[in-house]
Structure 1
Amino acid sequence: MNCGQPQGKKLSIIGAGAVGTAAAHWAVAEKAADTVVLVDVVEGVPQGKALDISQAAPLCGFTGRIVGTNDYDETAESDVVIITAGIARKPGMSRDDLLDTNVRIVRQVTEEVVTRSPDACLVVVTNPIDAMVYTVYKTSGLPRNRVVGMAGVLDSARYRTFIAQALGVAPEDVTALVMGIHGDHMLPLTRLASVGGVPLEALLPPEEIQEIVRRTQHGGAEIVGHLKTGSAFTTPGLAALQMARAILQDQKRVLPCAAFLEGEFGIRGLFLGVPVVLGREGVERVLEFPLTDEERRHLQLSVEAVQRQVAATGL
């Protein structure tokens, strides 16, 4: 838990569903901003959830303000806005199945947000993320550095968790990176994964590593299969909050995020998960590094999948 409290920072979260509520909870627990605004179209839902979270303030030491509202005017002059609004996956659905409905929702939300907070950075969580962050970028008219998608932070957390479980070590001592689409063609990089500085490939046999990769690629579907009526929310909420906090507090965190690429890794005109530096200006730079031929071929599968999603948005 962070000991310091930034002054005058405002974080708005659009969508008081499970992920948005989790993000608000983590924002208060980690003291990420002075004001946290939770917005939803359903009367009473954001108000009730914000009231519940606010009552944790004496227990976690939060001294700021949390507001639940149906009115976008409460979000005015936000520094960062997290967009979670949209429908969630159910068993048997792919992320692509959400596209048509969520494009309409996300476009409307973006217009409301940017009108009131034209200087904000936007963190997009709504699925399918790589297409939704493109939708926000095109709708908002904001520069590419101020629009970013959450995926790699979540996928890498899953990857690190599965590695730690396989080896019986502390998850925080696992370093691992997932690039590409937030979907079945994501690229968990095995070559760069390590545990306390020791290469993963020296600790586990190839077949075990590939099983961890497979489980990471389908980590969201595994949770959906258990829940039946919803999808993951606790860690996605925290992943989005980590990104927002890096921007709000100018932390210069190196995190895997869906960023708009203009030639990096040989990709242009798409949002794709890559390691970036997140600070006050949003995506301050992409950390580009050489990929093997096999990694490039796998990343190209992500590119093709995102291109199909983007084409389906009609933007």
Structure 2
Amino acid sequence: MSRKKITVIGAGNVGATTAQRLVEKELGNVVLVDILQDMPQGKALDILESGPVYSYDSEIIGTNGYEETKDSDIAIITSGVARKPGMSRDDLLKINTGIVKGVAENIAKSSPNAILIVVSNPLDAMTYVAHKVSRFPKHRIMGMAGVLDAARFSTFLAMELKVSVENIQAFVLGGHGDTMVPSTRYTTVAGVPVEELLPKERLNAIVKRTRDGGAEIVSLLKTGSAFYAPSAAVVEMVEAILKDKKKIVPCAALCEGEYNIDGLFVGVPVKLGAKGIEQIFEIALNDEESAALKRSADAVKVLCEQVDTLL
């Protein structure tokens, strides 16, 4: 059986760490693409030379073009300008729209049957850009945000409760950023609703820290943004698709009426399998959750309207 082919576009911190995790798990052969001359080639060679130590046989190459990416099974877009301290995700919109547009055009030409995972920020709007440009069907295009946001939520809850992160099933909806909706009602610890284990004010503080999770790391790093947890989240999605796990994870998917949202990519729980997004799970929301999700979708809509003027 031949190995799957996974292309990672953007060989910065997120892209290179994603490529490293993919080959270490032997999920497929990886093509690492970047516009910087020789840089992806150098990183790919370095990762390849780790193989004898870490016992993996996956191949990885670096390139500055799309020739080598031909007929990829999965393409992951991490390219774009990273956030800097004081920069909102919205500040990134104009620059990254141009970058993601170019990448999506190239992927659509070289790998027309690929499943596309977008990581570039602002996430929901960039997934919308990639969808409009590539014209891929909605089951083959998604944004990585919910897995990361849920991981951050789980981390903070585990720290607070002093329990294993494996016991926590976190639930997050909505756009990636300040308007995301971590649901305390559907988040459980070993099956027990977290609302029964923590007072409301502590939960609210943890929800706020989750919303600000990316900005907290940006302010600590000073010269970049998070990449270890984002790359881990991407790899979980890739693994669910390539192993046809039918795994339910939150990610940015094109809603067409689900949750009363139409024509926008917003974080919702989906079933990930070999075809990509095989189902959007609609769960019952209370009035407060519905209102928060609507606010989040409205914020995404504003960005997408700006994108429409740029494309």
TM-score (norm 2): 0.98
Aligned-pair distance for 1:244? 1.6
Q: Which of 8, 16, 22 is the aligned partner of 1:27?
A: 22
Q: Determine the structure 2 residue equivalent to 1:253.
A: 247
Alpha-carbon distance in 2 for matches of 1:59, 1:178: 37
In structure 2, which of residues 55, 60, 79 is the aligned counterpart of residue 61 of structure 1?
55
The percentage of aligned residue pairs carrying the same residue is 51
- Give, in angstroms, the shift of residue 61 of structure 1: 2.0
Q: Tell me, what secondary structure is at the counterpart of 1:250?
A: coil
Q: Which residue of 2 aligns with 1:199?
A: 193
Distance (whole Å) between structure 2 residues aligned to residue 106 and residue 307 of structure 1: 18
Task: Describe how 1:291-302 pairs up with structure 2 within 5 A.
Answer: 291-302=285-296
1:86 to 60, 80, 83: 80
Aligned counterparts of 1:261 and 1:39: Cα–Cα separation in 2? 30
Deviation at 1:132, TM superposition (A): 0.2
What are the equivalent positions in structure 2 for 1:245-284 lying under 5 Å apart?
245-284=239-278
Question: One-letter code of the match for 2:302?
Answer: R
Residue 11 in 1 paired to residue 9 in 2?
no
- The match for 1:40 is 34
Q: Detail structure 1 runs of 4+ shifted over 6 Å in the superposition.
A: none
Q: Distance in 2 between matches of 1:8 and 1:20?
A: 20
* Matched-pair contact (CA < 8 Å) for 1:13–1:38: yes
The TM-score with structure 1 as length reference comes to 0.96
SS in 2 for 1:192: coil
Post-superposition offset of 1:8: 2.4
Give the match for residue 283 of structure 2: 289
- Of 171, 178, 182, the match for 1:177: 171
Work out the CA distance in 1 between the residues paired with 2:24 and 2:161.
30
Q: CA deviation at 1:149?
A: 0.3
Q: 1:134 is paired with a residue of what secondary structure?
A: helix
The one-character-per-residue Cα deviations of 1:57-84 (angstroms, maximum 9, x if unpaired) are: 1222211210011121110010000000
Q: Quote the residue 2:229 is aligned against.
A: 235
1:309 aligns with 2:293: no
Question: What amino acid is aligned across from residue 14 of structure 2 in structure 1?
Answer: V
Whole-angstrom distance in 1 between the partners of 2:156 and 2:192: 16
Q: Is the 8 A contact 1:82 1:244 kept in 2?
A: no
Does the CA contact (< 8 Å) of 1:260 and 1:270 recur in 2? Answer: yes
CA distance in 2, matches of 1:277, 1:204: 29
> How far did 1:31 drift?
1.3
Q: Which letter maps to 1:28?
A: V
CA distance in 2, matches of 1:56, 1:177: 36
Which runs of no fewer than 5 residues in structure 1 stay unpaired? 1-5
User: Structure 1 residue 127: deviation in Å?
Assistant: 0.1
2:130 corresponds to which residue?
A: 136
- Structure 2 segments unaligned to the other structure (5+ residues): none
| Letter in structure 1 aligned against 2:20 | H
Q: Partner of 2:159 in structure 1?
A: 165
Equivalent residue, structure 2, for 1:209: 203
